[in-house]
């Protein structure tokens, strides 16, 4: 039997492989392009939330009123006027126990128990306002510390009985209230001398900035 009479289909000839790398690269690029388009279209939109404000620095050994906002008022006043906030806490605790509405029979008002004459002298318009009251009381305490060369005992005696009484008796006046006042606050504060520093120096001296900032400022 002659097989040449039948039409036997021929197998297609294999093409050259020289274009295979190009085809693979094209396929790879097309695949990634499609994936990018579809992932962008169907991926859930994610919006960045608001950045939380930096938590203000408070030294670990700083007393607290139990009110974070008031603690910041006291800290800022100490920083601004170069007075150790720990001393301010001790004075406020003794004067009002952190009660901004405290009022004495003698007419002293607010956290630092300012009398009207002292409030006016140190520019406090509203004695019931914590910021104004603490600022004025801090300025008065700063004034007394300067007047008595950093002597905490005499400055406290002047705050309680007036600087004129300290001058009159050349020391703590012989009033039981004033003597107890001085004893209690110096015991809570733990110091009888307060350095007279510029605010930027006081921040470092009293540890009111983080350790890294203290080192940087001391190096300047």
Q: Which residues form the catalytic set? A: 95
| Token reading at 152 | 């905490």
Q: Angle at the Cα of 47 (from 44 to 49), degrees rounded to 5? A: 140
Cα-Cα-Cα-Cα dihedral sign, residues 33, 37, 43, 46: positive
Inter-helix orientation angle 152-161/130-147, to 10°: 120
CB 43 within 8 A of CB 102: no
Helix (H, G, I), strand (E, B) or coil at 73: helix
Note the helical H segments in the chain. 20-42, 68-81, 85-96, 116-121, 130-147, 152-161, 163-169, 176-189, 199-205, 211-219
């Amino acid at each position: 039997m002659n097989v040449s009479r039948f039409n036997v289909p021929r197998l297609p000839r294999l093409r050259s492989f020289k274009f295979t790398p190009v085809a693979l690269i094209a396929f790879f690029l097309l695949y990634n392009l499609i994936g990018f388009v579809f992932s962008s279209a169907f991926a859930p939109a994610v919006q960045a939330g608001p950045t939380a404000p930096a938590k203000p620095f408070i030294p670990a050994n700083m007393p607290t009123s139990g009110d974070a906002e008031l603690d910041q008022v006291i800290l800022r006043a100490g920083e601004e006027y170069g007075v150790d906030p720990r001393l301010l806490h001790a004075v406020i605790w003794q004067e009002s126990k952190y009660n901004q509405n405290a009022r004495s029979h003698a007419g002293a008002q607010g956290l630092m128990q300012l009398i009207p004459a002292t409030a006016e002298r140190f520019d406090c318009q509203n004695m019931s306002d914590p910021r104004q009251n603490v600022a004025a009381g801090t300025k008065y305490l700063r004034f007394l510390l300067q007047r008595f060369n950093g002597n905490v005992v005499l400055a406290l005696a002047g705050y309680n009985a007036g600087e004129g009484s300290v001058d009159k008796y050349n020391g703590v006046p012989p009033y039981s209230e004033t003597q107890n006042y001085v004893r209690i606050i110096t015991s809570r504060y733990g110091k009888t001398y307060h350095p007279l520093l510029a605010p930027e120096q006081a921040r470092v001296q009293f540890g009111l900035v983080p350790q890294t900032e203290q080192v940087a400022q001391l190096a300047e």
